[in-house]
Structure 1
Amino acid sequence: MAKAYSAAGRATSTLHAIAILQFHQAKALKELHEGGPDPGVMQELCLMTDLALRLTKVTAWAFGQAMSTMVIQERHLVLNLVEMRDTDKVHFLDAPSSQAILFDDMSRTLPSSSRWSRSRDFSWSPGDNLIAFWVSEDKDIPARVMLMQFPSRLEIRVCNLFNVVDCKLHWQRQGDYLFVKVDRTPRGIQVVVTNFEIFRMREKQVLVDVVEMKESIIAFAWETNGNKFAVLHGESPRINASFYHIKSNSKIELIKMFDKQQANSIFWSPLGQFMVLAGLRRMNGALAFVDTSDCTIMNIAEHYMASDVELDPTGRYVVTYVSWWSHKVDNAYWLWTFQGHLLQKNSKDRFCQLLWRPCPPTLLSPEQIKVIKKNLKKYSKIFEQKDRLSLSKASKELVDKCRLMMEEYRQYRGSDTQMYNQQRDLSLQLRGGVDTDELDSNVEDWEEETIEFFISEDIIPVGDL
C-alpha cells in the first residue's frame, strides 16, 4: 500500500511540474510571436519541451506502478478467498504483473468462460494440483461435476447429474477421495432426495461410487487420517449416526448405525479413529465419545448449552465450551479425555473462544514412522519394563519409609514399657496392693446382673385337638 501511495504522490508532483513547464512554453511562444525568432528563446523552448516529455514518461511510469500495486493487492485478496494450497499460490504471487496481462496465468488455468459462468461451487484438492467444480443444468444440458488438472486444464473426470438442486464438495484430507453431496428432485416427486457421489482419486479413470440416502443430511465429516466417514441423517428426535468404510475392493461398507442420537455436529480426532458426536446449542450439549475401530460408544455425557468443541492436535484431550458469543450466561470450558472422562471445569465471565496450540511437524521421516509402527510391540515391552522399574523404585521408597516409622514406634513403646515397670511397685502401694491394670484383680467386688428383654410374641394356631 505504501508503494501505491508513493507512486501516486510521484505522479502528482510530475503533473504539477508539467503544468509549470507548459506555462513557460506558452510564454516563450508568445515572445517568439511578438518579437520574431530569438536563438536564446528557441533553445529555452527546446529545453522545456524535453523536460516536459521526460516528466510525462515519469508520470506514466508512476501511474503504472500504482496500478500494478493495486492489482497485486487485488490478487492477494482473490487468492485468500479461494481454497488453494499455499504452494500453489506462490505461482501467482511471484508472477510478474503488467498493465497488459495481470491475471493472464490465472485466467488460463480456469475453465472456459461459458462453462465457468454456470459453475456454482468449486474446491481445490488438498493433495494434488486439481480443482473440482460443479456446473448447473442449462436447458437440455445436465449438471456436471468436473475434475480438472492444474495448470494444464486437462479434464480427468466428468460426472453427469440430472434434476440437481444443489451440490456440496468435500475433499478428504490427503486428497484421496472427493465426496459430493447431491440434492435432487426426481421428476414427479416434490421431495428432495440425497445421494453421495464418491470419487476415488487414486484409482485408474477415477472410479465413482454412489451411496443413496433416504433421509435428510444434517452433518458429514471425513476421518482425519483414514478412509472412513460419518454422516448424521434424519429428523429430530430420530437422528441417526452412520459410519462408512471405503474398502480397496471398490465397495463402501456401512460399519455401524446408531439411532436416536442427540447430535448435530461431528468432530474427528486429528489422528483419526476416535470422534465426538455433539448436540450443540439447541440440543443442550449432548456428547457421545465414539471409538470407530469397533464402533462402540465409550461414554455419553453432557455439557449444558455447549456451543463449540475443540480437540487438541494429539487427539488425547477434548474441550467443550459455552461461548459468550452464543450464550450470555454460564460461560465456561470443560476439559475431557478422548474417552469421555471429565478432568476439570473452568468458569470465566464473558468467555468467548478457546484454541489449542498447534503441534510442530514431526522430525521423523515417513519411513521412520512406519518402522516404529511395525516394531511398536517391541518398544512397548521396553517401556513397560521401565514403568515397572520406576514403580518398584517408588514401592521400595514407600517400604523404607514404613519400616523407619515402625522402628521409631518400637523405640517409643520400649521406653514407655521400661518406665511402667519401674513405677509398678509404687503404683501398687498407692492403690493398697490392688493392680488396677488387670481386669481380674478385684473379682470379689464384682456384681452379676441378668437382664431379660421381651422381643416378640408369636401365636401359632394348631387347630382342634
Structure 2
Amino acid sequence: YEHKHIYMHLQSRVPTHFASVSINLQNVHKNYSVVIHSATASQVGFANIDFGPASTSGHFLFTVSQRSSEGQEGSEMHAVDLSNAENDDAEPSFSDREYGYTDSISDEELVGDVLRKKPQESVYELCCVIVCGIPVVGEDRLPKLKAVLGKLFARIHTQYKDNYPLESDGKTKGYCFLEYPNSEVAATAMAVLDGYILDKNHVFSTNTFADLHKSFDPDPQWKPPVPRPYTDFGDLWWWLQNDKCCDQFAVHYEREASKGCGGANPFVAVYEFNKGKEPQLASPNSERQNWTASVFQWSPLGTFLASIHHMGVALWAGRNFDRFVRFQHENVAMLDFSPLEKFVVTYAMPGNRWKEDTDSLRIFDVQTGEMRKGFSLMQYQRDNNILPNWPYFQWSFDDRYAACPKPGNNGISIYESEHFTLLNKKHIVIDNIRTFQWSPTRSLIAYYCEEKVANNAPAEFGLMEIPSKVKIRAQRIFSVSDAEMFWNKNGDRLAVHTERYQKKNIKSSGGVEDVKYSKVTSHIEIFDAREKEVSVLSLPLTEQYVSFGWEPKEGDKFCVLVSTKHKVTPLIYALDSSKHTPQLISKFEPGERFTAVAWAPNGGWLAVYSASASGAIMFIDSNGTQPTQMTLVEYPGFSKGYWDPTGRYFAAVYTIGGGKGGDTGYRIFTFQGKELFRKNLDRLVQFKWRPRLPVKLSDEKIKLIRRNFKTSFAKFEEEDKYERGRASQEVIVKRRKVMDEFMRIRACFIATYKEEAHLRIELRDGVDKTEGEVEDLVEETVTVLLTTEKVKLEEPTDKGE
C-alpha cells in the first residue's frame, strides 16, 4: 500500500467549532501525514503519526475523537479498505484546489511550447487520404479491385493501410481511405492520385481526412449576398494626368497639441511637388488627422493609400481619397500588396503565442474585400506564432503565384492565386533552405540553402522554373557563412553576395553555440538568366563588403560599397559579354562611411549615402563611359533616402526612429545634388513618394522622342522660363496687394489722427504741437569695405613699360 494518498472529511456533530480533533489509526504499516481541516474555525493543522506493525488485512481502523470548547466529547470508529480496486487505479492528485488555492495562469500560457509537442489527432488526420472516384463493385469483385488499386498505391509507398467502406448491400461506396506513415508521404499520394485516370469512367480526386473539418453544413440563415451600390470614385489615376508631370508624396507626422490638452495630433498628408515651389496639398481632402493608427502604405502602382486601424485595413482612392474598400482583421499589425494590386496580405499577432490561430495570416481580394484564404502561422512555424520575416508571402511578377516557407522550413510552398491551393497539391522540398526570391519579370525562383558541415553539404544557390519545378542551374560553394541575393530590374541577372571563411570556431556555453569565423572574404556571383545554359561570373572583392545595387535601366552595371577601416569606397562595374569577369569602370576616393546604394529608377544616376549622425550623400553620374562624382551633400542624422518614380528628385528623410524628434523633416534634391526644398516637421514618422504606373513605350516611340529631343528641349525651356516669369509676376502681384492693403490701413489711421486733432489741442492747453517739431535731416554716406585683396605691382622695365 505504498505511495497512497488517503483523504478524510471530518464533520463535527457538535454545533460549535472544534477545540481539538484526534485520530487513531490501527493496522497500518507506513507513516502517514494527516492534514486536519477545521471547517468552522477556518484553521488547518498537520500531524505526523507513527503507526503499529504492518498488516495484510487490506484495511485500517481509525477513531475520531472530538471535544468542543464547552467540554463535550464524542468519538467514532471508521474503517477504510485499501484493497479497493478504485483506490488501486486512482492516480495521485497534485491539485492545489483542495487547499483553497486557484492558479490564475493556465497550462497553455505556462508551458504552451511543451503542450504543442503532445500528439494531436490532427497530425494523424494529415496522414489519411480519401480517394474518391473508385469503381463501385460488389463483395465478389472487391478482392480484385483491392489488388488493382493496391499496385497503384504501393508505387507511392509500400507501407500503407487501406479501407473500403461498404453499403448495406455489400457494394463499395465509390471511395476508400488510405493511411500512410507520415504527412509528407500522404501529400505525395494526393499529388499523384488527384486527377489520376483509372479508365474513361473513373477519375480520382483526393483529400486529406483533415479537410473534412473544413466542410460545414449550409447555414440555414444563409441569404444571397446583396449587391453593393456602385460608388463612382472618379479617375483612379488622375494624378498621372498633371500637365507638369508633378510627383506626389505622403508624410506621416505629429503636430503639437494645444496647451492644456497634452499629447500630440498625428496627421497624414499627401502633397504635390513642383520644382521651384513649396509643396501643395494634392486635394482639399488630402490631409487628415488620425488617418491611420500606426503607419500608411502606398500600393505598388500608386492607386491606393492603405491605412491600418484596430479593426482592419482600409484602402483610399480617387481625387478626394474616398474609402475604396476595407478588410476586417482585428489588431492587424502588418500589410503587404501583390505586385499588380490584386491582393492584400495582412497579419495579426494572436493573443497567445502558443495557441493556433487559423487566420493570423489573411489574403484579401482588393476589388471585393473578400478574404480569399486564411493561414495559421503556427502550422508553418510549428513551434510558435512569431513572424520570422515580412513580407511572409513572396509574389510572382504577374500575381499568379504566392510562395512562403514550407512547414518545417525545409522547402517552399507555392499557392496558385486562382484558388489558393498548393501548386500540383505538393510542397517543394529543399533541405536547409534559408531564403528565396521571385524574378521581377519571369516565373523563376532564386533560392539559397545554407551549408551543413556535419553532413558535408555545401551552400547551394540555384534557379528553379515554375510551374515545372525544374532546377535550371545550381551553384554549390563550400565554407559560406552568409549570403544575399539581388535580382536586377529586368530579371535578366541575379547577383549573389557570399561571405566565405577559412576557419570556423564553435564554442558551447549553457547549451548555446557561439560561432566565430576567421579570415572571411567577400565574393559576388553573377547568374545570367537570359541564356538557356545559365552562366555564372565570379568577382572576388579585396575589401570587406558593405552594400550592393543594380542599375535598373539595362542591368549591365552595378555598384558595390567596400570598406577599409573607417572609410568606404564606391566601386562601379560593367558587364561585358566578351569578358569572363565584371570590369571595374570607376573607383572613387575612400571617404564617408556610406551604407547604402540607391540608383535612380531609370538608371544613369545614383546616390550613395550614410544614414548616420554624420550623414552624407554622394551623387554620381554614370551615363558616360567613366562615372563621375557630381556633388557631396551633408545632412547629419537623416535615416533614409528615396528617389521619386521618375528619377528627377532624391529625398533625404530624417524620421524619429524611436528616439527624440530633433530636427526631423525632409530635404529634396535634384538628381545632380542641388537642394530644392527643405521642411522640418514635428516628429516625422514616414515619408513615401507615390509610385507610378510603368510606362511601356514601343521602340519606335522611343526613337521618335530621341530624334525630337532638341525641339522638345527648347519647348520645355520656354515653358520653364514662362513659369519662372509667371512665378515672379505672382510674387509682384502678391507684394502689390500687401502694399495696397498697408496703404489703405495707413490712410484710415491718418484720417482718424486728423479727426482727433482738436482733442489733442484741448489736452495740451490750446497748444498745437503737431507742426514745428520736424528737425532738419542730414544725409550721410558711409563706405564699408567688404573684401580686401593684395596685388603685387610689377616693376617698370628699362623700356619704360
- Is 1:81 the counterpart of 2:384? The answer is no
What residue number does 2:462 align with?
146
Q: Is contact 2:415–2:423 with CA below 8 Å preserved after alignment?
A: no
- Is 1:272 the counterpart of 2:573? The answer is no
Q: Is contact 1:285–1:304 with CA below 8 Å preserved after alignment?
A: yes
Instruction: For 1:275 and 1:206, locate their aligned partners in 2 and report how far apart those are by CA, in whole Å.
Output: 29
Q: Is contact 2:608–2:619 with CA below 8 Å preserved after alignment?
A: yes
- Is 1:103 the counterpart of 2:426? The answer is no
Q: Which runs of 4+ in 1 moved over 4 A?
A: 63-71, 75-80, 93-97, 385-392
Instruction: For 2:596 and 2:435, locate their aligned partners in 1 and report how far apart those are by CA, in whole Å.
Output: 23
> Secondary structure at 1:372's aligned position in 2?
helix
Q: 2:585 aligns with which of 252, 255, 261?
A: 255
> Secondary structure at 1:381's aligned position in 2?
helix
What residue number does 1:286 align with?
616
- Is 1:165 the counterpart of 2:475? The answer is no
TM-score normalised to structure 2 length: 0.37
Instruction: For 1:389 and 1:335, locate their aligned partners in 2 and report how far apart those are by CA, in whole Å.
Output: 22
Change in 2 beyond 3 A, CA 1:367/1:350 = same
Q: 1:92 aligns with which of 406, 415, 432?
A: 415
What residue number does 1:325 align with?
657
What residue number does 2:641 align with?
309
- Is 1:370 the counterpart of 2:675? The answer is no
Change in 2 beyond 3 A, CA 1:63/1:249 = farther
Instruction: For 2:598 and 2:666, locate their aligned partners in 1 and report how far apart those are by CA, in whole Å.
Output: 17
Alignment of 1:447-458 (within 5 A): none
Q: Is contact 2:638–2:652 with CA below 8 Å preserved after alignment?
A: yes
Q: Deviations over 1:367-425 (max 9, x none)?
A: 3443335xx24342354268569979x99xxxxxxxxxxxxxxxxxxxxxxxxxxxxxx
| Bigger relative CO (Cα 8 Å, ≥ 6 apart) | 2
Q: 2:541 aligns with which of 184, 208, 213?
A: 213
> Secondary structure at 2:216's aligned position in 1?
helix
Q: 1:174 aligns with which of 490, 503, 506?
A: 490
Count of residues in correspondence between the two structures: 326
Alignment of 1:38-437 (within 5 A): 61-62=215-216, 72-74=373-375, 81-85=392-396, 86-89=398-401, 92-96=415-419, 103=422, 105=424, 107-108=426-427, 110=428, 113=429, 116-138=430-452, 139-186=455-502, 190-226=518-554, 227-250=556-579, 251-262=581-592, 263-282=594-613, 284-293=614-623, 294-328=626-660, 329-362=662-695, 365-373=697-705, 376-381=706-711, 383-384=713-714
Instruction: For 1:312 and 1:186, locate their aligned partners in 2 and report how far apart those are by CA, in whole Å.
Output: 43
Instruction: For 1:191 and 1:59, locate their aligned partners in 2 and report how far apart those are by CA, in whole Å.
Output: 55
Instruction: For 1:346 and 1:391, locate their aligned partners in 2 and report how far apart those are by CA, in whole Å.
Output: 26
Rg: which structure is higher? 1
Q: Is contact 1:241–1:261 with CA below 8 Å preserved after alignment?
A: no
Q: Is contact 1:237–1:260 with CA below 8 Å preserved after alignment?
A: no
Post-superposition shift, 1:210?
0.3
Post-superposition shift, 1:73?
0.9
Letter of the 2:657 counterpart: W
Q: Is contact 2:546–2:595 with CA below 8 Å preserved after alignment?
A: yes
Change in 2 beyond 3 A, CA 1:240/1:310 = same
Change in 2 beyond 3 A, CA 1:131/1:383 = closer
Deviating more after overlay: 248-257 vs 202-211: 248-257
Change in 2 beyond 3 A, CA 1:261/1:386 = closer
Instruction: For 1:326 and 1:179, locate their aligned partners in 2 and report how far apart those are by CA, in whole Å.
Output: 33
Q: Is contact 2:464–2:470 with CA below 8 Å preserved after alignment?
A: yes
Give the unaligned 5+ runs of structure 2: 1-211, 220-356, 363-370, 381-389, 403-413, 505-516, 726-801
Letter of the 1:289 counterpart: F
> Secondary structure at 1:240's aligned position in 2?
strand
What residue number does 1:447 align with?
none
Q: Is contact 1:238–1:259 with CA below 8 Å preserved after alignment?
A: no
Change in 2 beyond 3 A, CA 1:326/1:291 = farther
Higher helix share: 1
Change in 2 beyond 3 A, CA 1:153/1:338 = same
Instruction: For 2:358 and 2:655, locate their aligned partners in 1 and report how far apart those are by CA, in whole Å.
Output: 44
Q: Is contact 1:321–1:334 with CA below 8 Å preserved after alignment?
A: yes
Letter of the 1:258 counterpart: F
Instruction: For 2:541 and 2:372, locate their aligned partners in 1 and report how far apart those are by CA, in whole Å.
Output: 46
Quote the sequence identity (%). Answer: 26
Q: Is contact 1:319–1:333 with CA below 8 Å preserved after alignment?
A: yes
Instruction: For 2:598 and 2:649, locate their aligned partners in 1 and report how far apart those are by CA, in whole Å.
Output: 12
Letter of the 2:603 counterpart: G
Post-superposition shift, 1:75?
8.3
Letter of the 2:472 counterpart: I
Post-superposition shift, 1:209?
0.3
Post-superposition shift, 1:214?
2.1
RMSD over equivalenced CA pairs, Å: 3.6
What residue number does 1:47 align with?
none
Q: Is contact 1:324–1:352 with CA below 8 Å preserved after alignment?
A: yes
> Secondary structure at 1:87's aligned position in 2?
coil
Post-superposition shift, 1:104?
5.8
Post-superposition shift, 1:254?
0.4
Post-superposition shift, 1:72?
2.5
